[in-house]
Chain A
Amino acid sequence: MKKHLRNFYIGLIFLFLYAPILTLIVLSFNASKTRAKWGGFTLKWYSSMFRNDAILQALSTTLMIALLSALIATVIGTVACISMQAMKRRNKAILMGITNIPMLNADIVTGISLMLLFITLGFRFGFMTILLSHITFNIPYVILSVMPRMKQLNPSIYEAALDLGASHTRAFFKVVFPDLLPGILSGFLMAFTMSLDDFIITHFTKGPGVDTLSTKIYTEVKKGIKPEMYALSTLIFVTVLILLFLVNKTPAEKRKHPIP
């Protein structure tokens, strides 16, 4: 009884979380151009999507920004974590406090603060300004997922590697890095996702002519969303779902033999 109640509750929450996604997927097959009514099943949005340059352009910008910002943020964030180990307690606490600012601060404030900075510096708004902004809000996600791994790290293994004759660089890449890798990977994935899903900060830091999927959708809201957008989103979502399924399947097999 109690168990059924629990499952029912989890089911309700997931229905709540995934109902809009289901709606979007259904809409992507809707022949009618308005989302208000069902005009029969069609795949035409999927084919016309590939002929829509504006959407494809926005998609490639979005993916480029997400990939580049996640990569750069991962490198800077990981290096920052390593260097923070050597810092004095107080300095480290201050830096961690600053790191937390973009996470705790409102996106709108982060967005306008970067906008003001770019204006003052005389930057031309466009791809670069979006990229710089995304790197900025991505770094904390990387740091916060690498840091716990860093803390668990046994400092002796690095010293043991040195003791056995490895150079500092070699010792790092051979023994420390593999231990940090899961944290780094999840930080990268988190950063990539956050970048992909961001609208607010991009909204304030993008220039005319450059659009990510988010900003494109926002400008379309008033005119009505093009159904190709639903098709594209469905495609992205399903792709990620399949990828995650494949990735998760492998470690699940390994988990049967837990490493002590």
Chain B
Amino acid sequence: MNKKTLSFPYLFWAGAFIVIPLCMVFYYGITDKTGAFTLENIITIATQEHCKALLLSIELSLISTILCFLLAYPLAMILTGMEVNTHSFIVLIFILPMWMNFLLRTLAWQTLLEKTGVINSILGFLHLPALELINTPGAIVLGMVYNFLPFMVLPIYNALAKIDKNVINAARDLGANGIQTFLRITLPLSLPGIISGVTMVFIPALTTFVISTLLGGSKILLIGNVIEQEFTQTGNWHLGSGLSIVLMIFILINMILEAVFDQEGEGASL
């Protein structure tokens, strides 16, 4: 069989279910109900309500991304150092939780964070004051870090595992101490993994509506909640698409970053 014809199924699929749908979002985003061209759906991001949601989303997802990075990097380094563990085993540990439904796992944090929940019970047992945990931006950040941490750990772990041990040895040999070796060799060489991890945490965190619904109560609206409501409740697809286009600008920036740092296209893989 010709290898060219083999590519047709996927070319068709990618065109029909990836490219065309995206074009439709753009089409809806820049038209109104009558089909006339308008930028109003996009400009509406500047209104106070939408702007507030977007800024809060950016703030919370940035905090989550940074927290994920700070938690994941040392973990990835420790895992790289543990030579007994095979790669697949480490992937497994992080994929395994996904077999418990993502909504349930996130809901479980309600049980842990509630006023009468597990954490406050422990605090009460220790005669410490109860904390206001649930329905706060903090709870949303926790939910984000919890859900997306594996997507930060795995790319960084992959990048670190790829570094030739002798390159590290060479830096030590040439007089660099542990910290110098880390800053000049390990960190720059793991950069593709970091970028990949940041993308894979920041984008879902920025656009989530589930975590904010489950852990933020109904009071805290993120940009994802606004878009979701436009589609499933208000039914204004044009406005929803317009706001999605705004989101896609962030996604695009991330994709470009990704492309610059990872030409092999492997970093995004788990």
Interface assignment of B93: CB less than 8 Å from any CB of chain A: yes
| B102 adjacent to A199 (CB under 8 Å) | yes
Complex interface bits, A107-128 against B, C-beta within 8 A gives 1, otherwise 0: 1111011111100100000000
Contact of A180 with B by CB under 8 A: no
Cβ-defined contact, A98 with B19, below 8 A: yes
Nearest A residue to B255 via CB reads: A104
Taking A116-B237, A117-B20, A233-B100 as contacts, is the C-beta distance between A108 and B207 under 8 angstroms?
yes
Tell me if B244 is interfacial: C-beta within 8 Å of chain A.
Answer: yes
Bound CA–CA A147/B95 (angstroms):
20
Bound CA span A132–B86, Å: 35
Q: Is there an interface contact between A244 and B92, defined as CB atoms closer than 8 Å?
A: yes
Residues of B within 8 A of A197 (CB): 98-99, 101-102
Q: Establish whether residues B103 and A36, one from each chain, have CB atoms under 8 Å apart when the complex forms.
A: no
Chief secondary structure at chain B's binding surface: helix
The complex places the Cα of A146 from the Cα of B70 at a distance, in Å, of 31
Query: Which residue of chain B has the shortest Cβ distance to A189 in the bound complex?
Result: B95
Complex alpha-carbon distance, A164 and B270, angstroms: 37
User: Does A105 sit within 8 A of B, measured CB to CB?
Assistant: yes
Are A35 and B231 within 8 A (Cβ)?
no
Residue of A whose beta carbon sits closest to that of B244: A109
Find B14's partner among A99, A168, A237 (CB 8 Å cutoff). Answer: A99
Q: How near does chain B come to A70, taking the closest CB pair, in angstroms?
A: 14
Cβ-defined contact, B71 with A13, below 8 A: yes
Does B104 reach chain A (CB closer than 8 Å)? yes
B14 touches A86 (CB 8 A): no
- In the bound complex, do residue A84 and residue B78 qualify as a contact, i.e. CB atoms below 8 Å apart? no
Cβ of A16 and Cβ of B25 under 8 Å apart?
Answer: no
Contact (A116, B1) CB under 8 Å given A9-B78, A196-B98, A248-B89: no
Contact A108 B104 (CB under 8 A): no
Complex alpha-carbon distance, A217 and B88, angstroms: 31
Provide the bound-state CA to CA distance between A242 and B3, in Å.
41
The answer to whether A114 and B21 have CB atoms under 8 Å apart is yes
Residue of B nearest to A136 (CB): B17
Flag whether B109 is at the interface (Cβ < 8 A): yes
Residue interface mask B14-47, A partner, CB < 8 A = 1: 1011111110110010000000000000000000
Contact A100 B255 (CB under 8 A): yes
Tell me the chain A residues, 60-111 only, with Cβ under 8 Å from chain B. 76-77, 79-80, 82-87, 95-110
Residues of B within 8 A of A160 (CB): none
Residues 207-231 of chain B, each 1 if its beta carbon lies under 8 Å from chain A, else 0: 1111001100000000010011001
Q: How far is the CB of A255 from chain B (nearest CB, A)?
A: 8
Residue contact A104 to B268, C-beta cutoff 8 Å: yes
Find out whether the CB atom of A19 lies under 8 angstroms from the CB atom of B112: yes
Inter-subunit contact A23/B111 (CB<8 Å): yes
Tell me whether A101 and B18 are in contact in the complex, defined as CB-CB below 8 angstroms, given that A107-B204, A112-B244, A236-B100 are known contacts: yes
In the bound complex, how far is the Cα of B96 from the Cα of A181, in angstroms? 22
A92 to chain B, nearest CB (A): 10
CB pair A35–B100 under 8 Å, yes or no, is no
In angstroms, Cα B208 to Cα A110, docked, is 13
Within 8 A of B (CB), among A1-21: 6, 9-10, 13-14, 16-21
Chain A residues, CB < 8 A from B110? 35
Asked if A55 CB lies within 8 Å of chain B CBs, one says: no
At the interface, yes or no: A184 with Cβ under 8 Å from chain B? no
Q: Which residues of B contact A105 (CB under 8 A)?
A: 22, 203, 248, 251
Report B220 CB to chain A, min CB distance, Å. 15
Please choose the segment from B4-12, B48-56, B168-176 that sits at the chain A interface, where 4 or more of its residues have CB less than 8 A away.
B4-12
Q: How far is the CA of A128 from the CA of B48 in the complex (A)?
A: 39
Query: Given A24-B108, A240-B96, are A213 and B101 also a contact pair (CB < 8 Å)?
Result: yes
Nearest chain A CB to B245's CB is how many angstroms away?
Answer: 9
Q: Smallest distance from the beta carbon of B153 to chain A beta carbons, Å? A: 8
- What CA separation (Å) do A95 and B18 show in the bound complex? 11
Assess whether A130 is interfacial by the CB under 8 Å rule: no
CB-CB under 8 A from B146, the residues of chain A are 16-17, 20
Looking at the complex, which one of B7, B149, B241, B258 makes contact with A84 (CB distance below 8 Å)? Answer: B7
Knowing A80-B10, A112-B241, the reply to whether A9 touches B74 (Cβ < 8 A) is yes
A132-157 interface mask toward B, CB cutoff 8 Å, 1 = contact, 0 = none? 11011001010011011000000000
Which chain A residues border B208 with CB–CB below 8 Å?
108
Q: List 16 A-B contacts (CB under 8 A).
A: A10-B79, A16-B146, A20-B106, A24-B105, A24-B108, A35-B111, A87-B7, A104-B251, A105-B22, A108-B224, A108-B244, A109-B244, A109-B247, A113-B21, A113-B24, A120-B24
Chain B contact residues, CB within 8 Å of chain A: 1, 3-4, 6-7, 9-11, 13-14, 16-22, 24-25, 28, 71, 74-75, 78-79, 81, 86, 88-89, 92-112, 114, 116, 118, 146, 149-150, 199-200, 203-204, 206-210, 213-214, 224, 227-228, 231-232, 237, 240-241, 244, 247-248, 251, 254-255, 258-259, 265-266, 268-270
